[in-house]
Amino acid sequence: MTLKIGLVSISDRASQGVYEDKGIPALVDWLTLAISSPFETVTRLIPDEQPQIEAALTQLVDDEGCQLVLTTGGTGPSPRDVTPEATLAVADRVMPGFGEQMRQISLKFVPTAILSRQVGVIRKQSLILNLPGQPKAIRETLEGLREEGSVTVPGIFAAVPYCLDLIGGPYVETRAEVVKAFRPKSAIKPQA
Q: What is the CATH number of the domain that holds 106?
A: 3.40.980.10
Q: Is the pLDDT of residue 146 over 90?
A: no
As a whole number, the mean pLDDT across the chain is 95
Half-sphere exposure of 125 (CA within 13 A, CB side): 13
Determine the straight-line distance between the first and last CA of the chain, rounded to whole angstroms.
15
Other beta carbons within 10 Å of 110 = 11
Average pLDDT over residues 151-174: 95
Look up residue 180 and give its amino acid.
Answer: K
| pLDDT surpasses 90 at 16 | no
Residue 92: C-alpha distances to residues 70, 82, 121, 176 (Å): 16, 18, 7, 31
Mean pLDDT, to the nearest integer, of 60-88?
Answer: 97
Contacts of 112 (CB under 8 A, 6+ apart): none
Is the residue at 130 inside a domain?
A: yes
The Cα 6–Cα 101 span in angstroms is 21
Give pTM, 2 decimals: 0.96
Residue 182 lies in a domain: yes
**pLDDT average, residue stretch 87-91:** 98
Using the 8-state DSSP alphabet, how is residue 143 labeled? H
69 domain residue, yes or no? yes
Q: What is the pLDDT of residue 1?
A: 87
The number of domains in the chain is: 1
- pLDDT mean over 90-100: 97
At residue 173, the pLDDT reads: 97
In a domain, 111, yes or no: yes
| Residue 192: pLDDT over 80 | no
How far from the centroid of its chain's Cα atoms is residue 55's Cα? 18
pLDDT of residue 147: 85
Instruction: Give the rounded percent of residues in the chain with a pLDDT score beyond 70.
Output: 99
**Domain-embedded: residue 192:** no
Name the DSSP class of 190: P
44 inside domain: yes
pLDDT in tens, 21-60: 999 999 999 999 999 999 999 999 999 999 999 999 999 9
Expressed as residue numbers, the domain containing 79 is 3-187
